[in-house]
Chains A and B, each alone.
Chain A
Amino acid sequence: MGAIRLEQVTKSFGEAVVIPRVDLEIADGEFVVFVGPSGCGKSTLLRLIAGLEDVSGGRVVIDGAEATRTPPAQRGLAMVFQSYALYPHMSVYKNIAFPLKMARNEPAAIDRKVRAAAQTLNLTQYLDYKPGQLSGGQRQRVAIGRAIVREPKAFLFDEPLSNLDAALRVNMRLEITELHQSLKTTMIYVTHDQVEAMTMADRIVVLRAGNVEQVGSPIELYRAPRNLFVAGFIGSPQMNLIQGAEAQKRGAETIGVRPEHIRASHHAGGLGRQRRHRRAPRIGYHSARIGRRRRDGKGEGGRGVRAPPRPEGLSDAGSDQDPSLQCQREDDPMTSSAS
């Protein structure tokens, strides 16, 4: 129903190459999240799929049919915008009815579908309101309503939650996930928020500078990031990337240790065995600084190591003991020779 394939898709605006080359396959019914720092081309990629931008090269295939030159209206996709993009001069009812009207549905069918969508999204009592009279969360629901009445092959979400406050965002995240479970329609979701990506996605596509850095399930990306960028980007608090002697000992330029795999200890051991640590630990909510900074600032502990809050067996402050790292999972630290 809603399989989407990108074949060697490229996009440039004038001289600026935004998407050097992307190959991607999205299966029917999948919830795929595009994630990456701002300016990484994730929104552009979504707009290429939507047809709002023309590809500079390559093919877009929707449901096995060539759609590269198909105008957005005929691709059978629905999009939810970051700004909601509701029609301000139309009531909620007319907003939701608009795509059906454009598809020349019967008035009776339009009415039935609009009311059903409003019911699902708890909007029934707001049908006569104008978008300007609604709160952010309600507007977002209207935007989703406008998308679902079309029964599209796939939903495209362009950072739909970034204009909402934190509490509402968590709720809407859940609602969208539930919507996906009940509709079982393909969803492509763009966000810069990796927590959203990790909690919602079946599969995550990590993008940087228009390149796909890695594609995989959240747990794959977390456990086995393919390169330093993915390792640093996925996971909160961030993974510790340690260079220097410890890394070389394991035959790598950089090793990564997840903060939750670090335990501060009073006893020497683990990674810090050969070193003398003079500084007392400074334990913040998310980070503990362990080790000493070398003059040139390149010491292995110099960058600060993130560890879970309040490591066991360590008092808050004032301890002069030598804490050191202990790697809980020495079998599985991520190693990488890339930089």
Chain B
Amino acid sequence: MARAIPQRRRWLLTVVAWAVGLVIFFPILWTVLTSFKSEGEAIASPPHFLFFHWTLENYAEVQQRSNYLLHVTNSVVISLGSTVIALVIGVPAAWAAAFAPARRTKDLLMWMLSTKMMPPVGVLVPIYLLFRDWGLLDTVTGLTALMMLVNLPIVVWMLYTYFREIPADILEAARMDGAPLFSEIVHVLAPMALPGIASTMLLNIILAWNEAFWTLNLTAANAAPLSAFIASYSSPEGLFWAKLSAASTMAIAPILILGWFSQRQLVRGLTFGAVK
């Protein structure tokens, strides 16, 4: 329902909204700006906001010193791969939880969620040892598998929530119409849950892309995705703010662009079912 808001209040609200938005966005903006500064100007105090000597030398240097393309590829393979595999496992699992619940289904779902409540460092040693023994350290395969497992509870839960919004009647109709389980999921459930599946996919790509704990601990040179690549520009190399900023900008740019283009889908998926 429309509510009348006085013109002055409207102005005020707009200004407040922009201010809040800017505060939230400021670190990213500052990182991007810093990436175009020389190392000297990056640490200047008081800081130069826009009026400094713009340069691309940090980007050139970062390119030279590390293999950006390799890390991007790793990030894409790991985040996309783990998400796709998680969906392949998660869709049937969520189907079962939503449409064929058993006595212990709720408990099982809670247990899955509980694994996300444990701090990851708690299982660092066993997982590290497993990776070492299985020869998975610093491999894209190992990290993809791990990211998939780490995000699987979230995937199953999100899909489960979306699937529960879908009337069971329609799936039963498909069953009566002679659809085997696979067709029921592919031809009927998936198209109807598409907004939910898409937002689950996007969110998990973002989560996997930004994951740093496991990537830092389990990768070195070969399988390091962008999150590990940024870290390599922090303290061990000395405090080169401008180069670190350039690396960060390059690391977040792809996911930022993905997020930008899919924001409508993301919002729609995340509020799916909230409004009938």
A-B interaction: yes
Residues of A within 8 A of B178 (CB): 73-74, 99, 102-103, 150
A88 within 8 A of B: yes
Kindly state the interface size class of chain B when it binds its partner.
Answer: 10 to 19
- The A-contacting residues of B in range 152-180, CB under 8 angstroms, are 167, 169-170, 172-180
For A89, give its contact among B174, B176, B183, B191 (CB under 8 Å): B191
Give the distance in Å from the alpha carbon of A87 to the alpha carbon of B186 in the complex.
13
- The B-contacting residues of A in range 1-34, CB under 8 angstroms, are 14
A72 within 8 A of B: yes
Q: Please state if B167 and A83 are interface contacts (CB–CB under 8 Å).
A: yes
Residues of B within 8 A of A86 (CB): 170, 173
Q: Please state if A72 and B192 are interface contacts (CB–CB under 8 Å).
A: no
B188 within 8 A of A: yes
How many contacts A-B (CB < 8 Å)? Answer: 60
> Nearest-CB distance from B19 to chain A (Å)?
42
Q: A73-B180, A102-B183 are in contact. Are A85 and B175 (CB under 8 A)?
A: no
Residues of A within 8 A of B (CB): 14, 50, 52, 71-74, 77-79, 81-83, 85-89, 98-99, 102-103, 146, 150
> Nearest-CB distance from B144 to chain A (Å)?
31
Residues of A within 8 A of B169 (CB): 81-83, 85
Nearest residue in B to A82 (C-beta to C-beta)? Answer: B169
> Nearest-CB distance from B46 to chain A (Å)?
58
Q: A87-B188, A89-B192, A102-B183 are in contact. Are A72 and B175 (CB under 8 A)?
A: yes
Nearest residue in B to A77 (C-beta to C-beta)? Answer: B176
Residues of A within 8 A of B187 (CB): 98
Residues of A within 8 A of B170 (CB): 85-88
> Nearest-CB distance from A148 to chain B (Å)?
12
Q: Please state if A81 and B173 are interface contacts (CB–CB under 8 Å).
A: yes
For B177, give its contact among A52, A73, A82, A88 (CB under 8 Å): A73
Extra pairs beyond A52-B176, A98-B179 (20, CB < 8 Å): A52-B175, A72-B172, A72-B175, A73-B175, A73-B179, A74-B178, A78-B176, A81-B169, A81-B172, A86-B170, A87-B170, A87-B174, A87-B188, A87-B192, A89-B191, A98-B174, A98-B187, A99-B178, A102-B180, A146-B177
Nearest residue in B to A90 (C-beta to C-beta)? Answer: B191
Give the distance in Å from the alpha carbon of A71 to the alpha carbon of B174 in the complex.
12
Nearest residue in B to A94 (C-beta to C-beta)? Answer: B187
> Nearest-CB distance from B99 to chain A (Å)?
11
8 example contacts (A-B, Cβ-Cβ < 8 A) are as follows: A14-B103, A74-B178, A77-B176, A81-B173, A83-B167, A85-B167, A89-B191, A98-B177
Give the distance in Å from the alpha carbon of A89 to the alpha carbon of B189 in the complex.
10
Most buried by B among A83, A86, A99, A102: A102
Give the distance in Å from the alpha carbon of A306 to the alpha carbon of B175 in the complex.
47
Residues of B within 8 A of A73 (CB): 175-180
Residues of A within 8 A of B192 (CB): 87-89
> Nearest-CB distance from B198 to chain A (Å)?
14
Residues of A within 8 A of B177 (CB): 73, 78, 98-99, 102, 146, 150
Residues of B within 8 A of A (CB): 103, 167, 169-170, 172-180, 183, 187-188, 191-192
Q: A81-B169, A85-B167, A85-B169 are in contact. Are A50 and B174 (CB under 8 A)?
A: no
Residues of A within 8 A of B179 (CB): 73, 98, 102
> Nearest-CB distance from A70 to chain B (Å)?
12
Most buried by A among B103, B173, B175: B173
Nearest residue in A to B171 (C-beta to C-beta)? Answer: A85
Q: Please state if A85 and B180 are interface contacts (CB–CB under 8 Å).
A: no
Give the distance in Å from the alpha carbon of A88 to the alpha carbon of B167 in the complex.
11
Q: Please state if A85 and B188 are interface contacts (CB–CB under 8 Å).
A: no
Most buried by A among B172, B176, B178, B180: B176
Give the distance in Å from the alpha carbon of A52 to the alpha carbon of B171 in the complex.
10
Nearest residue in A to B179 (C-beta to C-beta)? Answer: A102
Residues of B within 8 A of A79 (CB): 172-173, 176
Give the distance in Å from the alpha carbon of A52 to the alpha carbon of B173 in the complex.
10
Give the distance in Å from the alpha carbon of A73 to the alpha carbon of B172 in the complex.
10
Give the distance in Å from the alpha carbon of A130 to the alpha carbon of B185 in the complex.
20
Residues of A within 8 A of B173 (CB): 79, 81, 85-87, 146
Residues of B within 8 A of A85 (CB): 167, 169-170, 172-173
Residues of B within 8 A of A52 (CB): 172, 175-176
Residues of A within 8 A of B174 (CB): 87, 98
Residues of B within 8 A of A87 (CB): 170, 173-174, 188, 192
Q: Please state if B188 and A72 are interface contacts (CB–CB under 8 Å).
A: no
Give the distance in Å from the alpha carbon of A98 to the alpha carbon of B177 in the complex.
7
Q: Please state if B191 and A72 are interface contacts (CB–CB under 8 Å).
A: no
> Nearest-CB distance from B190 to chain A (Å)?
10
> Nearest-CB distance from B49 to chain A (Å)?
51
Give the distance in Å from the alpha carbon of A99 to the alpha carbon of B176 in the complex.
8
